[in-house]
Structure formats: C-alpha cells, structure tokens
Amino acid sequence: MAKNRTPTTIASHTRVDGKIRGDEDLLVLGRTSGAIEIEGLVEVAGSGIVEADVLATRVVIAGVVVGTVVATESLVVESTGRVVGSLTAPTLRIAEGAQYAGRLEVSGDARAADVAATTKVETTSEIALPTPAAPAPAPRKDRPSTTKRIVVKKQKKRDRNGVAAAMH
Amino acid sequence: MTTNDKTVIGNSITIEGTVDGTDDLVVHGTVKGKLSTSKGVTVAKSGKVEADVNATAVEIVGALSGGIVAKGKAEITAGGRMIGDIKAPRIMIADGAKFTGNIDMGGA
C-alpha cells in the first residue's frame, strides 16, 4: 500500500459526484456519490455520506453508506455507522449500535462474522438522507460457491452481546 | 474525529466527475470533470486536471487543461502547464510556466 504524505481526503464540505479510484487510502468526511474503487483503506468518517458502490481492500464505516460494499480483506461498521445496501467481506464486524438494512455476505470462514448490530433500520428515511438513493441491487440468489450467507432480519435481536469488543 | 477542511486528492487517485464544495482543494492525482469550490484550488506538481475550475484562488504547479474562473488570483508557477482560458482579476504566470489560452482580467 502506497503510503502518501497527503492521504486522500474528501473534506466535510466537499462533494464528489463520479468515480473515485486509485491505490491509496481514502478518507471521506464529506459526500461522495458514484463509485469508489480503492486498493487500500476506505474510511467513511462520522460526517461522511457515501452513496456509491464501494470496492476496497479494507472498509471502515462510521458514517452513512448507501450502496454495495465489497471489501477484499475486512469490513467494519462502527457503532455510529449506518448502512443501506449489501456488505461483502471475508471478515466482517458490525459494532453494537450500528444500523443497517440490507444483506451481509461473509465469504470464507463465517465465524469471522461478528454481528452485534441492533439492526433497527427499517426504512432509509430513518437514516435521514437528504435524497433517497436507489435500492441496493437485488441479491444474487443462486450463485454456487463456498460462500456462506448471513441474512439478518430487520427485527432480529442481538444474539452475541458485546462480542464486538473482542475484535478490537 | 478528524477535523479537516482540506480536500486532498492523492497521487494515485483518479476522479472522474465533479468535485464541489466550500473546502480548499489540493490535487496531487488526476481529476477529469469539473472542480468548483468557494476557496482555493491547487494543482500540485504531480497533479493532472482536465476540468474547468471555478474557485476563489487557483494555483497551478502541475498541469491543467481546462478553463479557470477565479474570483481572486490565478497563478501558474514555474514548471506549471496550462491549456485553457483564465478569467480572474489577478493573474500571475511565472517565468518558466507554460500557458496557452486567453486571459480575461475583467478590467477596462
């Protein structure tokens, strides 16, 4: 991973509409819409709003993401994170308090999934997006693979209290 | 949380689309489309911008292909390259800069 003197940052009062790609870390404090393809870490900070499909090595979501997120290494939704869409990663952690609506796909070892979300989100409006985004693409139901899928229902209760802490 | 009021596009980053807002903007990478901010835009040495730029201050150290509209100063530093028109009340083109285009300083 190319470490840069000047990490790429979308500042909090900046909006990017379009495609962002590259092979260095990206910090989103503002808004982006379109697509993000990064070989490296994509961090959506608490103030960040991403309405885009995200493909990255690692993804940390503390803000809002609407779209399909694929991480090739790891994906973390922090307690302040809100996600509408699908999350795919070999290891996935959703912190307690995080909100999401959508589906999770944990490829590889399903035990790496650590879901402690309260999953309160039922509508995108609760996430208070200024403009409702398009729904996530329909799940591909019939892809045969060793992939294990975990679909968490909206009202599902937390089943592993505080396990998220173990991942820190 | 990080309080950062500067948008930085790193060396290896390419953005195709529009960037707008009210933060300073520094481009080390590539932007194709449109840049617009109420503050300053710097195209750094490694930066390649193919876009119209609308800002208060614009500094070109790298390469810009597109028009500039600046409320304040537009500057092409030595080594900077630009193809396009500049409209700004204050313009500086350094010795060693390359520039092809028209200049409009809005004066009489």
Report how far residue A119's alpha carbon sits from residue A135's, in angstroms, rounded to the nearest whole number: 17
Q: Look up residue B96 and give its two tokens.
A: 């060693």
Instruction: Tell which residue, A114, A104, A107, A110, has the closest CA to residue A145.
Output: A107
Taking the CA atoms of residue B32, residue B37, residue B41 and residue B46 in that order, the dihedral angle to the nearest 10 degrees is -30
Amino acid at A27: L
Instruction: Give yes or no for residue A119 having a pLDDT over 80.
Output: no
Alpha carbon of residue A48 to chain centroid? 12
pTM of the complete model: 0.77
Instruction: Give yes or no for residue A151 having a pLDDT over 90.
Output: no
Instruction: Tell which residue, A120, A118, A100, has the closest CA to residue A161.
Output: A118
Place of tokens 């995200």: A54
Q: Look up residue B63 and give its two tokens.
A: 């390469």
Alpha carbon of residue B34 to chain centroid? 10
Chain A contact for B12 (CB, 8 A cutoff): yes
Percent of chain A with pLDDT over 70: 60
Instruction: Tell which residue, B104, B35, B107, has the closest CA to residue B66.
Output: B35
Instruction: Give yes or no for residue A64 having a pLDDT over 90.
Output: yes
**Sign of torsion over alpha carbons A78, B4, B37, B29:** negative
Chain A contact for B45 (CB, 8 A cutoff): no
Mean pLDDT of chain B: 94
Q: Do A11 and B20 touch (CB under 8 A)?
A: no
DSSP string, chain B: -----EEEE-TT-EEEEEEEESSEEEESSEEEEEEEESSEEEE-TT-EEEEEEEESEEEESSEEES-EEESSEEEE-TT-EEES-EE-SEEEE-TT-EEES-EE----
ipTM of the complex: 0.91
Q: Look up residue A62 and give its two tokens.
A: 């503390």
At B5 the pLDDT is 84
B100 and B86 in contact (C-beta within 8 Å)?
Answer: no
Cβ neighbours of A136 (radius 10 Å): 19
Report how far residue B103's alpha carbon sits from residue B82's, in angstroms, rounded to the nearest whole number: 12
Main-chain phi, psi angles of B55, to 5 degrees: -160, 180
At A29 the pLDDT is 97
Tell me how many residue pairs between chain A and chain B have CB atoms under 8 A apart.
Answer: 93
Mean pLDDT of chain A: 74
Interface of A with B (CB under 8 A): 2, 4, 6-24, 26-27, 29-30, 34, 45-47
Chain A contact for B6 (CB, 8 A cutoff): yes
DSSP 3-state of A79: coil
Q: Look up residue B55 and give its two tokens.
A: 């800002």
